[in-house]
């Protein structure tokens, strides 16, 4: 296989991006195979059907890996699923020298990374992300974990994968809404760290983008610049949470109220509209840039309709967000496109105001 890929360093982990990444994976696997270590491959039912055959065609050695298959969806990102994994790995002879390969989106990377990191006090794992969101975010930077009841990522640890292999070819298997979900995180990366990238992303709607590999590479570079400065999220890494404070409230609200709830990225896109407004109100974010952000989000994402009576519930959920510190609401905001500031205090009254303006934004892009 031609050596056609880029290599980046994200918090000490080599991240390979491009068409030729599986040649590199074969080299990584050869030492494990030579010493006959047990290799496990974790996938969900969807990635087993759509991505595993493509992977095996390129890395036939992995056909011998012990497969662990779980049900798809955030509702399975639990300790109960981990227990099944640990049982299967124990029965099939796993030890600290074994390897777990996570083939999937955010749930697989988060859960598999966590399960491997605590098994026998730490077994190596690698990520092969299959969704756009996992390629540019969830598979990178060593955040692993599972949910506790409906509370996301409450149990987990920072733990580095041994390698991340990003093959953009898997994107052809993704449904449109899953692409959009990753695209929201891509827009967020641009808004917090790279005005030039924002210009590229907003030139055309997502549906007609073809140069995914370039976009993925740029997005990973933005994330790695931030994560390399602050791998354990003591400060600047919180910039990656732009749009997520109010975005999580939309996500929770939608899960409670809708038969077909918002994806994480769709919720973050709506959150970014509100947080761009708060940035305008508190940090002097230019109103023309704010309108540009709203317009370009709504060019790709349908405006999620909420009645004004839902605003109390959304504010209440925001209040309980885990980024609150000692009763104060903390947020990442943007000063300019491409320039974020973390640790900004925000009054709940302003969250409420932003939600009222959000309802208006469905009718027009505001001018002031």
User: Is position 124 an interface residue for ligand GLY (rule: CB under 6 A)?
Assistant: no
How far is 345 from 146, CA to CA, in rounded Å? Answer: 28
User: Is position 340 an interface residue for ligand GLY (rule: CB under 6 A)?
Assistant: no
User: Is position 143 an interface residue for ligand GLY (rule: CB under 6 A)?
Assistant: yes
User: Is position 141 an interface residue for ligand GLY (rule: CB under 6 A)?
Assistant: yes
In Å, what is the CA distance from 129 to each residue of 52, 105, 219?
12, 6, 14
Cβ proximity to ligand GLY, 137 vs 321, nearer residue: 137
Query: Contacts by 72-79 with C-beta closer than 8 Å and gap 24+?
Result: 72/44, 72/45, 72/46, 72/47, 72/107, 73/44, 73/107, 74/107, 74/147, 74/152, 76/44, 76/107, 76/111, 77/107, 77/110, 77/111, 77/146, 77/147, 78/146, 78/147, 79/146, 79/148, 79/155
Q: Which residues contact 277 (CB under 8 A, 6 or more apart)?
A: 290, 353, 354, 357, 358
Q: Which of 77, 189, 215, 237 binds ligand GLY (CB under 6 A)?
A: 237
Q: What's the min distance (Å) between Cβ of 1 and ligand GLY?
A: 30
Q: What's the min distance (Å) between Cβ of 171 and ligand GLY?
A: 19
Q: What's the min distance (Å) between Cβ of 237 and ligand GLY?
A: 5
Six-digit token pair at 145?
């974990």
Of 15-23, 135-143, 145-153, 325-333, which part binds ligand GLY (CB under 6 A)?
A: 135-143
Cβ proximity to ligand GLY, 39 vs 222, nearer residue: 222
Of 165-173, 232-240, 278-286, 358-366, which part binds ligand GLY (CB under 6 A)?
A: 232-240
Q: Which of 29, 186, 240, 311 binds ligand GLY (CB under 6 A)?
A: 240
Q: What's the min distance (Å) between Cβ of 319 and ligand GLY?
A: 21
Q: What's the min distance (Å) between Cβ of 241 and ligand GLY?
A: 7
Residue number with the smallest Cβ distance to ligand GLY:
240
Q: Which residues contact 137 (CB under 8 A, 6 or more apart)?
A: 106, 182, 185, 189, 219, 223, 240
Q: Which residues bind ligand GLY (CB under 6 A)?
A: 137, 141, 143, 233, 237, 240
């Amino acid at each position: 296989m031609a050596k056609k890929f880029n290599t980046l360093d994200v918090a000490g982990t080599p991240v390979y991006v491009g068409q030729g990444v599986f040649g590199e994976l074969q080299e990584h696997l050869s030492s494990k195979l030579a010493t006959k270590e047990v290799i496990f491959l974790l996938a969900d039912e969807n990635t087993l059907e759509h991505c595993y055959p493509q992977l095996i065609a390129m890395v036939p050695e992995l056909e011998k890996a012990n497969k662990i298959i779980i049900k798809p969806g955030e509702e399975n990102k639990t300790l109960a699923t981990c227990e099944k994994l640990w049982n299967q790995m124990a029965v099939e002879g796993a030890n600290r020298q074994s390897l777990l390969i996570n083939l999937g989106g955010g749930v697989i990377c988060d859960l598999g990374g966590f399960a491997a990191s605590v098994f026998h006090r730490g077994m190596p794992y690698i990520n092969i992300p299959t969704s756009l969101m996992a390629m540019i975010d969830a598979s990178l930077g060593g955040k692993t974990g599972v949910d506790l009841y409906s509370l996301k990522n409450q149990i987990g640890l920072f733990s580095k994968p041994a390698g991340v292999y990003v093959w953009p070819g898997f994107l052809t298997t993704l449904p449109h809404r899953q692409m959009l979900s990753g695209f929201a995180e891509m827009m967020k990366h641009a808004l917090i760290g790279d005005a030039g990238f924002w210009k590229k992303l907003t030139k055309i709607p997502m549906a007609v983008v073809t140069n995914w590999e370039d976009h993925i590479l740029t997005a990973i570079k933005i994330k790695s610049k931030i994560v390399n400065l602050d791998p354990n999220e003591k400060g600047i890494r919180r910039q990656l949470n732009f749009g997520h404070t109010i975005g999580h409230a939309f996500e929770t609200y939608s899960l409670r109220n809708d038969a077909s709830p918002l994806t994480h990225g769709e919720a973050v896109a709506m959150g970014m509209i509100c947080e761009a407004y708060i940035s305008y109100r508190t940090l002097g974010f230019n109103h023309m840039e704010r309108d540009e952000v709203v317009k370009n989000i709504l060019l790709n994402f349908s405006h999620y309709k909420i009645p004004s009576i839902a605003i109390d519930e959304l504010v209440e959920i925001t209040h309980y967000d885990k980024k609150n510190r000692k009763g104060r609401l903390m947020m990442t905001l943007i000063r300019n496109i491409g320039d974020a500031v973390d640790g900004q205090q925000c009054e709940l009254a302003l969250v409420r105001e932003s939600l009222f303006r959000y309802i208006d934004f469905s009718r027009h892009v505001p001018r002031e």
